Amino acid sequence: MKLVRHGPKGQEKPGIVDADGQVRDLSGHVADIDGALLANGLDAVRALDPASLPLVPAATRLAEPVAKVGKFICIGLNYSDHAAESGMPIPEEPIIFTKAISAIIGPNDTVLLPPTSTKSDWEVELGVVIGTEARYVTQEAALDHVAGYCVINDLSEREYQLERGGTWDKGKGCDTFGPFGPWLVTADEIADVGSLGLWLDVNGARMQTGNTSSLIFGIAHLVHYVSQFMSLQPGDIISTGTPPGVGLGMKPPVFLKEGDVITLGIDGLGEQRQEVRRYGA
């Protein structure tokens, strides 16, 4: 299934994508797409005939496909060629940092640069959404705890991240720096999560091209690994790292500016489009 949330900010409703790619409204059957539904309600949604559900107008805003996310966990430098372009060593264990949940926006919402930002950057990433609690799970059982997958743009302010001391989090959690969606694609629809193509363009120019086959630490290992340090709850997200082609790695570096348009996608998981503005402008 492809699960969505649709409607104006603060008025989002649950939905599902039908066989023709149209969004159908689920609000007559479920309250929302959230951790509670992912843990206990997916079978009931699967039993519905999408064609019997009300159509959502095509121009309706798509929101982040999971409501009330509890944790937004990110993995750094998980592609060796991205580590190289960043001038950093390949990690021996996954690098974990968090992204503020207040960064989450819909897949096509406006990205707002912080007032003092001069080094904001793009990062297309595969997102993993947890479906059942994962605590100290084995790698062999890890994927049993995954509800599905999605596209994430892990936007990053590089000065805040790398030049201002402390952890990476301060450059990762800015408001609007977590576009998420358009859909949550349930795990049963993805034949091989270890072989998905990723891409990102800025103003129509291809910046990033990659494939999850190049991940240093695969999806099952990441769910297992993170669960050793914190329990993962239904609705939590793990963003799994970005392939090469970020602005920081260019010579000279290139960063986002007002008026830029970012488009990105992952095979089978849909596409995003964001216009870039500056906060307060």
pTM above 0.75, yes or no: yes
> Would you state the pLDDT for residue 160?
96
Burial category of 277 from C-beta neighbours within 10 Å (exposed 0-12, middle 13-18, buried 19 and up): middle
Q: What percent of the chain has pLDDT over 70?
A: 100
Average pLDDT over residues 232-258: 96
Q: What CATH number was assigned to the domain covering residues 72-278?
A: 3.90.850.10
CA dihedral sign, ordered 48, 49, 50, 55? negative
Measure the CA–CA gap between 2 and 17, rounded to whole angstroms.
5
**What digits encode the pLDDT tens for the residues 31-86?**
999 999 999 999 999 999 999 999 999 999 999 999 999 999 999 989 877 677 77
Measure the CA–CA gap between 249 and 150, rounded to whole angstroms.
25
| Sheet arrangement for strand 205-211 | 111-113, 270-278, 261-266, 197-202, 205-211
Every domain of the chain and the residues it spans: 2-63, 72-278
> Would you state the pLDDT for residue 86?
72
> Would you state the pLDDT for residue 270?
98
Q: What percent of the chain has pLDDT over 90?
A: 93
156-195: b (≥16 Cβ within 10 Å) or e = bbbbbbeeeeeebeebbbbebbbbbbbbbbbbeebeebee
Provide the 10 A C-beta neighbour count for residue 87: 8
Tokens of 43: 């079978």
In this structure, which amino acid lies at residue 250?
A: M
- Which regions of the chain does DSSP assign to beta strands (E)? 2-6, 13-17, 23-25, 62-63, 72-76, 95-98, 104-105, 111-113, 120-121, 124-130, 146-153, 156-157, 178-179, 184-186, 197-202, 205-211, 237-239, 261-266, 270-278
